Amino acid sequence: MAQSKTSLTSRLDALFEFDREPVTEDKLHGPGKFIGLFAGEHVAATEFVIGPMFVIHGVAALDLFLGLLVGNLLAVLSWAFLVAPIAVRTRLTLYWYLRKICGPGVTFIYNIANAFLYCVLAGAMISVSSTAIGLAFKTPTPALTDVLPNSISWVVITLIVGGVVTMFAILGFDKVSKFSSVCSPWLFAIFIAGALALLPSLGQINSLSDFWHIAQTKIWNGVPTAGQEKYTFWHIAFFAWFANLAMHVGLSDMAVLRFAKNWKYGFYSAFGMFPGHFLAWVCSGIMVAAVAREMNPGAMAFTAAGFAGAVAVVIAGWTTSNPTMYRAGLALQVVTPNWSRWRITLIAGVVTTIVACFPVVFMRLLDFVALYGLLLMPVGAVVFAEHWLFPKLGLVQYRAEKFKMFINWPSLITWIGTLVIVFLLPIHMFFKWLPGYFIALVLYISLSYFSARKQPAKA
């Protein structure tokens, strides 16, 4: 048992060996790098789905604009005040910091959970791409409420798209990631152009008040599509805030912000949030309203920008799913010793492609995004408590590292316990994470306090 733990620990460490040491002063980056990174990362295939979903869920125009403003502002503040300060103080990735705090056992579980979530996310992106490819073959797009595939041709197209994406991920992740940097500015232009070109089909606009009238009556008119739940200001604000919860509150963007010169660089996330999670969502919302609220990203983009629009959906899906699949493969590598990278990526690709065949993953994307953040949020709370609150409360930091623990039980119990409690809370999925975060903080501090008292010799 002890030997298998050591073997698991060494396999995990070997995977992340390249970023084991804290970033040194000479490797820090300037503002331009962060602006580009955030701006590029947050204009992706998901934006073709999220904006339209708000329309379908019957959000009112004022609720949408105010909700996006408040939610994105809170997201930027979370990057600036939660991730960035810890990242620049430690100069470590979340993996290595988590290992110090929770032990290799918990980092292992974290990796597996992440791998599974990455596969589902990449699967959703492949589904989005399939809607565009399907246009050429007149494949019926699944309905909003579909869980299972609705036709053989949908499955065949999704399998082919998934196969191609997997092949490119195997052949060279690096090249695709370089290619995606070329796509971002153009993709953003397609969002804006598509919305502007389709606006006249909703009514004549000669002034801002004309636009507002159309926005209130034809786009975000407050009436959900039949069978869909109605969203309010709070749903939008919370969604915009938690859309990247794993990255900010969950602290996984420590990997990026550890290269920042100071914590204020967290504010540069605004360059990703406001163009991507504000403007692009508004633009795709306008587009879906102009195509009679049909949830078909491929057809919607084709109507808005022709062949270039359909290509935008395919490329956005491909460039988003590719790194996600790569990360899933990396995370899975810990359970498959001595397997080559291509084989792991192939397994991740097969899982992802099978997931992509089920339309529920992209038709329920908003719920999945909420679930994704929720599942990883307690880990962020544990790290926050250990980093900031333990010294103030006189608790010993980094006990897992100091006492060579395989699992820091208070952290694992906090993670599982918080999730059980929040799933029992009788509130909407979008709102569960916030009370959950405070529950995790209190739970971890309490459990760590009692754990330290129980083992005074070690402490």
Partner 1 sequence: MINIIRKIAPWISIICLVVIIGYSILVFRGVQSKETYIMWTNIATVVWFVFSPFWLIKGNKKEQA
Is 124 in contact with 356 (CB distance < 8 Å)? yes
Cβ of residue 31: shortest distance to partner 1, in angstroms? 17
Cβ of residue 433: shortest distance to partner 1, in angstroms? 36
From CA 163, how far away is CA 169, in angstroms rounded? 10
Interface residue with partner 1 among 192, 350, 395, 452 (CB under 8 A) is: 192
Nearer to partner 1, 191 or 444 (CB): 191
Is 272 in contact with 99 (CB distance < 8 Å)? no
Nearer to partner 1, 320 or 414 (CB): 320
* 45 interacts with partner 1 by CB under 8 A: no
Cβ of residue 129: shortest distance to partner 1, in angstroms? 17
* 308 interacts with partner 1 by CB under 8 A: yes
Q: Residues 67-96: x/- map of binding to partner 1 (CB under 8 A)?
A: ------------------------------
C-alpha closest to that of 173 among 9, 296, 66, 328: 328
Cβ of residue 181: shortest distance to partner 1, in angstroms? 6
Total site size for partner 1, rule CB under 8 A = 22
* 185 interacts with partner 1 by CB under 8 A: yes
Cβ of residue 278: shortest distance to partner 1, in angstroms? 17
From CA 442, how far away is CA 210, in angstroms rounded? 50
Nearer to partner 1, 30 or 185 (CB): 185
Cβ of residue 194: shortest distance to partner 1, in angstroms? 7
Cβ of residue 21: shortest distance to partner 1, in angstroms? 23
From CA 21, how far away is CA 110, in angstroms rounded? 21
Nearer to partner 1, 305 or 412 (CB): 305
* 200 interacts with partner 1 by CB under 8 A: yes
Interface residue with partner 1 among 70, 197, 354, 371 (CB under 8 A) is: 197
* 182 interacts with partner 1 by CB under 8 A: yes
Nearer to partner 1, 176 or 440 (CB): 176
* 436 interacts with partner 1 by CB under 8 A: no
* 51 interacts with partner 1 by CB under 8 A: no
* 39 interacts with partner 1 by CB under 8 A: no
Nearer to partner 1, 11 or 213 (CB): 213
The stretch among 129-137, 303-311, 396-404, 410-418 that binds partner 1 (CB under 8 A) is 303-311
Interface residue with partner 1 among 202, 205, 354, 371 (CB under 8 A) is: 205
The stretch among 235-243, 302-310, 353-361, 418-426 that binds partner 1 (CB under 8 A) is 302-310
Interface residue with partner 1 among 67, 123, 194, 380 (CB under 8 A) is: 194
Cβ of residue 317: shortest distance to partner 1, in angstroms? 16
Interface positions, 151-180, toward partner 1 (CB under 8 A): 178-179
From CA 8, how far away is CA 20, in angstroms rounded? 17
How many angstroms separate the Cα of 4 from the Cα of each of 110, 268, 404? Answer: 18, 43, 15
* 202 interacts with partner 1 by CB under 8 A: no
Interface residue with partner 1 among 74, 193, 350, 354 (CB under 8 A) is: 193
Total residues belonging to the chain? 459
User: HEC profile for the chain?
Assistant: CHHHHHHHHHHHHHHCHHHCCCCCHHHCECHHHHHHHHHHHCCCCCHHHHHHHHHHCCCEHHHHHHHHHHHHHHHHHHHHHHHHHHHHHHCCCHHHHHHHHHCHHHHHHHHHHHHHHHHHHHHHHHHHHHHHHHHHCCCCCCCCCCCCCCCHHHHHHHHHHHHHHHHHHHHCHHHHHHHHHHHHHHHHHHHHHHHHHHHHHHCCCCCHHHHHHHHHHHHCECCCCCCCCCCCHHHHHHHHHHCCCCCCCCCCCHHHHCCECCHHHHHHHHHHHHHHHHHHHHHHHHHHHHCCCCCCHHHHHHHHHHHHHHHHHHHHHHHHHHHHHHHHHHHHHHHCCCCCHHHHHHHHHHHHHHHHCCCHHHHCHHHHHHHHHHHHHHHHHHHHHHHHHHHHHCCCCCHHHHCCCCCCHHHHHHHHHHHHHHHHCCCCHHHCHHHHHHHHHHHHHHHHHHHHHHCCCCC
Interface residue with partner 1 among 28, 77, 113, 189 (CB under 8 A) is: 189
* 389 interacts with partner 1 by CB under 8 A: no
Interface residue with partner 1 among 30, 140, 172, 306 (CB under 8 A) is: 306
From CA 368, how far away is CA 364, in angstroms rounded? 6
* 286 interacts with partner 1 by CB under 8 A: no
The stretch among 46-54, 81-89, 188-196, 332-340 that binds partner 1 (CB under 8 A) is 188-196
Residues that bind partner 1 (CB under 8 A): 178-179, 181-182, 185-186, 189-190, 192-194, 196-197, 199-200, 205, 305-309, 311
